[in-house]
Amino acid sequence: MIKSILATIALLCWASAATAQSGDNEQDSRWSIAIHGGAGTLDRDRITPEQDKDIRAALNQALAAGSQILEDGGSAIDAITATIMILEDNPNFNAGKGAVFTWDRTNELDTSIMDGSDLSAGAAAGINGTKNPILLARAVKDHSPHVMLSGEGANQFSRDQGLQQVPPEYYATPYRLEQIDKLLSKEVSAADIDYKFGTVGAVAMDQNGHMAAGTSTGGMTGKRWGRIGDSPIIGAGTYADDRSCAISATGSGEYFIRLGVAHEICARIRMRWPIALEEAQRTVPKDAEGNYTYIIHASEFMLSDEEIQQIADDVIAELGELGGDGGIIYATPWGQAGYSFNTAGMYRGRATSEGEQSVAIYGDEE
């Protein structure tokens, strides 16, 4: 009989985890959020003290905006939207204002968003003209029957939705213009220019236990032929599921696509949870008849910080074995928020209802 009960719990955990966690969060008001602004060769000798200060200030501003929404009982999807908009408006990152230039000296921006409560998602690729691309991704999710739009069709949809439009020169900054000029004049290679990935993203869990993830980027400096990376690809650069986690990625997009990094991490967490629950059940003492004296309910059980981190690290290690660089941020239904990356550094930050709030740049920072 007990084996049957455990088997049933394992098979139905995908539903019970979300439901039970929702009730639990409503009781203790837990929330969490993690953000990123790119990963790469972020060594201290490559970043000036002024840049360090500006980037940390931007990360703190974005983190504070998302945290306030969550603390006030707002939704995860609203929190990450507001957070990413702030990063898109900051020229220190490769998203929105400050996006990199293509080979043709134009801007082609990519973005996506996903709501873990119902697995709804929206994405746009190869766009320009929209001030905040993440709002276009959200509009695709909320107001269209599609998941992804691209190019001029996506631009038209943005205008139809009344989203704020900007002229082409809005995205340009002196730094990005210098980058493309050096590349086109053959002074440097694309690899030298893209030593860091300025993609921005956010993931969150709100007080109702719902997850959300979003990502926004300008892509690669000097990209050609309408190249699209992982950022607008649901399952590669962005994924959210109340049953497991929320993920946003940054890095060498082709490898994230090949490995399906965002979905892969969430799938491993989702599959690990019922196994870990059954393992925990086996530690409960049995009575004289061999029956467990207590049945651990799904709402009482969570994966540990170490297990979550190990799953994320394992997938990023596989990414590295393929030849890919970059990292991810994660949030879980149990309130954890963190990161994993295989580069020298990663612009990142996290905050929780437990009082944690931190931002970091370099790999040796906590």
Residues labelled catalytic: 199
Q: 348 and 354 in contact (C-beta within 8 Å)? A: no
How many residues are there in the chain?
366
Helix (H, G, I), strand (E, B) or coil at 292: strand
Largest CA distance in the chain: 81
d(CA 177, CA 273) in angstroms, rounded, equals 48
d(CA 355, CA 315) in angstroms, rounded, equals 29
Residue type, 178: E
- Residue 342 corresponds to which tokens in the numbers above? 């295989």
Q: 17 and 333 in contact (C-beta within 8 Å)? A: yes
DSSP per residue, 143-154? HSS-SEEEHHHH
Phi-psi region of 38 (alpha: psi -120 to 50; beta: other; left: phi over 0): left
- Residue 277 corresponds to which tokens in the numbers above? 């629950």
